[in-house]
Structure 1
Amino acid sequence: MTIHQSTVYPSVIEAVELPKVIHIGGNLYAAAFTLMKLLPARHIIDRAIAAGDITPGTPVIETSSGTFALGLALVCRQRGLPLTIVGDHSIDDDLRNRLEMLGAEVELVEDHGQPGGIQGARLARVEELRRARPESFVPRQYTNPENPAAYASVGRLVSRTLGTVDSLVGPVGSGGSTCGIASTLRADTPTLRLIGVDTHGSVIFKAPEGPRLLRGLGSSIVPGNVVHTAYDEVHWVGPGEVFHATRELYRRHGLFMGPTSGAAFLVASWWAERNRDSTVLAVLPDEGYRYQSTVYNDAWLRGQNVPVRPADGPRLVERPGEGDGSWSRLLWNRRSYDDVAGVSTDRQTQESST
């Protein structure tokens, strides 16, 4: 049999873990992933196997209610490792079915008002399970340095494809992708501007904690993998403008992606328009198939009572939390968390929970 293909991949993991670099228009490019969290999941598990921290049959336990869970499930299935995912009720039935079909055990927890919100509750349950199964391995996506280290391969791909990138725009959850890619690109371009995209209700950049309709963006804890001194600018975006941008990304460019990708596209488009001499790269984390009944469903959008419309642009603020729910931006200027926000005694990190 003759295979007319430049590369034959050993599995679907290697085939889809890296993004496609796509020219969106003008000076704006996108690193579009099928499933971005597959990359750090594979990297973390394989490094643990190489180090002897995982041996055949070692149970893997992790907290996730989204794509990191799916990435781990794919990797653990292929590596023959039992997996327990601790999540919450934002795991929809379709995602839970996919996880369980891959052999993962899914446990959902409730938010009972403990420190760190629902993510704090999930982390506390992971620690309980780890103590009960001391032979288990916990990837700890929020603090494991192998998470951002996994994205060095993305930085190298971008450099080979585009050459110099002046500005990187990406959503911030665990901090792995934006900090990891920026670190690699800055080895050649120290002046690269890193623009993090967060959402209202997330505490990552010291905005007040609150409910978050946007899933996969932001956090109710401050992950250890978020290197605050890496960011030049932070934008907080709301669901209405992000839902509109997500649908526009598909209408205008044929990129059928999730709302975290829409958030990055919204901010990167605005930035590229105002910095036309810069090469701007937006990180688009995952495809939109999980959101066909939500973000891409008109009836669901009407039921959210959120105006889905184009945004006028961000309001420049001096401190986190001043945006009043509207799209806002802060010149972070590579400062530390405490330099921007003041020393906080109630700062929540994963280290305090596990």
Structure 2
Amino acid sequence: MADTAIYTPSRTRYEHMQYRRSGRSGLKLPAVSLGFWHNFGDTGMYEHMKELCFTAFDNGITHFDLANNYGPSAGAAERNAGRIIGEEFASYRDELIVSTKAGYDMWPGPYGDWGSRKYLLSSLDQSLERLGLNYVDIFYHHRPDPETPLEETMGALAQAVHSGKALYVGLSNYDGATMQRASAILDELHCPFVINQNRYSIFDRSIENNGLLHSAEQLGKGLITFSPLAQGLLTGRYLNGIPEDSRIKTDGRFLSESLINEERLQRMKALNDIAQNRGQTLAEMALAWILRDSSVTSVLIGASKPQQILDNIGALENTEFSREELSNIDELSLDQQL
């Protein structure tokens, strides 16, 4: 007989997680959020996806982050997330922050990519259908569109909120100057733009150099970071060679084997030594390094196993760094940027 047990979340789920305000908005996010970029597509096992979500929510991770193109195939992560939310989390919808995005190639023809009003609003309708929801909490433009006027893209985001299909909007992969222009337009449209989503890690300081980090803090906008472990370089998995089951071996789209040269390997080992002296794993220190900055709202983690979620949450136990530690981390990483 099939197991029909209904999921009941832990009663202590809010006791240990930290929640941070997204800029100067009223929205709070958990310091650690669960991303659905990997492991929630057609190639994953549904029961395993549920276990990841259960573990996250049981430990205070209230934010599930998606995009229209997450899979494989595109749309699959939203379909699976929608099924999980509908079957297991329906009673807890008001305790969840569900975000999705549009901006990358999603369907054939001229209306399935980038940042036109046609694409963004059509994509949001499709996302809501896959998710089985009436609204998402945050709707992002996934990347800047160099050809569509910024006023049109921001107007579409505002329409998503004004129509009740999103509560807040965000921008992803914008630089500081473009984000400032977008923010001014959204202010005029009375649209609650509350958060930026950008890549950030010890090995990728792009937002420090393109003005995004400074601009977000200056304007009072939140920041949620993805790829905080540099696609695995900061997990500790590669300190003693490349495992055969690693993503480098099975899927080279996101991390090339050539990146782990001897010099970078020695830097990774030295960073691991700093982490051990702090009583942390390399991954825990890498997450704590991002969260040390009060302008960071949350870090997005991916997970293939429930234990990885628990391990990543462990980073919250120590997010204080000495000046010497920060200086040593910079010395080991600033000339090793990805």
TM-score, normalised to structure 1, is 0.28
TM-score, normalised to structure 2, is 0.29
User: Whose helix fraction is larger, Structure 1's or Structure 2's?
Assistant: 2
